Chain A
Amino acid sequence: GNSVTQMEGPVTLSEEAFLTINCTYTATGYPSLFWYVQYPGEGLQLLLKATKADDKGSNKGFEATYRKETTSFHLEKGSVQVSDSAVYFCALRGGYSTLTFGKGTMLLVSP
Chain B
Amino acid sequence: NAGVMQNPRHLVRRRGQEARLRCSPMKGHSHVYWYRQLPEEGLKFMVYLQKENIIDESGMPKERFSAEFPKEGPSILRIQQVVRGDSAAYFCASSPPAGANYGYTFGSGTRLTVV
A residues contacting B by CB (< 8 A) are 31-32, 34, 36, 42-46, 49, 51, 89, 91, 93-104
Question: Contacts A46-B103, A93-B103: A100 and B45 contacting too (C-beta < 8 A)?
Answer: yes
Looking at the complex, which one of A43, A93, A103 makes contact with B108 (CB distance below 8 Å)?
A43
Q: A44-B93, A46-B103, A98-B45 are in contact. List 16 more A-B contacts (CB 8 A).
A: A31-B100, A32-B100, A32-B103, A36-B106, A43-B108, A44-B91, A49-B101, A93-B103, A95-B100, A98-B33, A98-B48, A99-B103, A101-B35, A101-B42, A103-B42, A104-B42
A99, B99: Cβ atoms under 8 Å?
Answer: no
Q: Chain A contacts of B35 at CB under 8 A?
A: 101
CA distance A98 to B109 in the complex (A): 18
Question: Contacts A89-B43, A98-B48, A99-B33: A43 and B91 contacting too (C-beta < 8 A)?
Answer: yes
CA distance A101 to B91 in the complex (A): 13
Q: Which of A96, A98, A102: most chain B CB closer than 10 A? A: A98
Question: Contacts A32-B100, A98-B48, A98-B56: A45 and B42 contacting too (C-beta < 8 A)?
Answer: no
Q: For window 58-98 of chain B, which residues contact chain A by CB distance below 8 Å?
A: 91, 93
CA distance A102 to B112 in the complex (A): 22
Q: Chain A contacts of B7 at CB under 8 A?
A: none
A97, B100: Cβ atoms under 8 Å?
Answer: yes
Q: Chain A contacts of B25 at CB under 8 A?
A: none
A/B interface sample: 16 pairs, CB < 8 A: A32-B100, A36-B103, A44-B91, A44-B93, A89-B42, A89-B43, A91-B103, A93-B102, A96-B100, A97-B100, A98-B33, A99-B33, A102-B42, A103-B41, A103-B42, A104-B43
Q: Chain B contacts of A98 at CB under 8 A?
A: 33, 45, 48, 56
Question: B35: shortest Cβ distance to chain A, in Å?
Answer: 8
Residue B30 is within 8 A (CB to CB) of chain A in the complex: no
A99, B104: Cβ atoms under 8 Å?
Answer: yes
CA distance A95 to B52 in the complex (A): 22
B103, A49: Cβ atoms under 8 Å?
Answer: yes
Closest B residue to A49 by beta carbon equals B103
CA distance A80 to B107 in the complex (A): 26
